[in-house]
Structure 1
Amino acid sequence: MVTGGMGFIGSNFIRYWLERHPEDTVLNLDLLTYAGREENLADVVRDPRYALSVGDIADPMVFRLLEEEKIDTVVHFAAESHVDQSILDPQRFVRTNVLGTQNLLEAARRTGVKKFVHISTDEVYGTLGSTGAFTEETPLAPNSPYSASKAGSDLLVRAYCETYGFPAVITRCSNNYGPYQFPEKLIPKIITRALRGEDIPVYGDGLYVRDWLHVEDHCSGIERVILQGRQGEVYNIGGGNERTNLSMVRLILEELGRPLSLIRHVEDRPGHDRRYAIDALKIRRELGWQPLRSLEEGLKTTVQWYVEHQDWWEPLLAGGGQQE
Structure 2
Amino acid sequence: MEQQLEVFVKVAEKESFSRAAEELHMTQPAVSQYIQQFEREMGTKLLERSNKYVRLNKAGEIVYHHAKEIIGLYTKMQRLVDDVTNKTSGPLSIGASYTFGEYVLPHIIALTLEKYPLVKPTITIGNTKEIAELVTSHQLDIGIIEGGLKNAKLNIEPFSKDEMYVFISSKHQLASRNGEIQVSELEDETWIVRENGSGTREASDEVFRIFNLAPPKIMEFGSNQLIKESVEASLGISLLSHWAIRKEVEIGTLKILKIKGLPYTRQFSAIVQTPFHTKAMDSFLNLLREEELLYNIGNKGPQHFQS
Name the TM-score, length of structure 1 as normaliser: 0.25
Higher relative contact order (CA 8 A, sep 6+): 2
Query: TM-score with structure 2 length normalisation?
Result: 0.26
Structure with max Cα Rg:
2
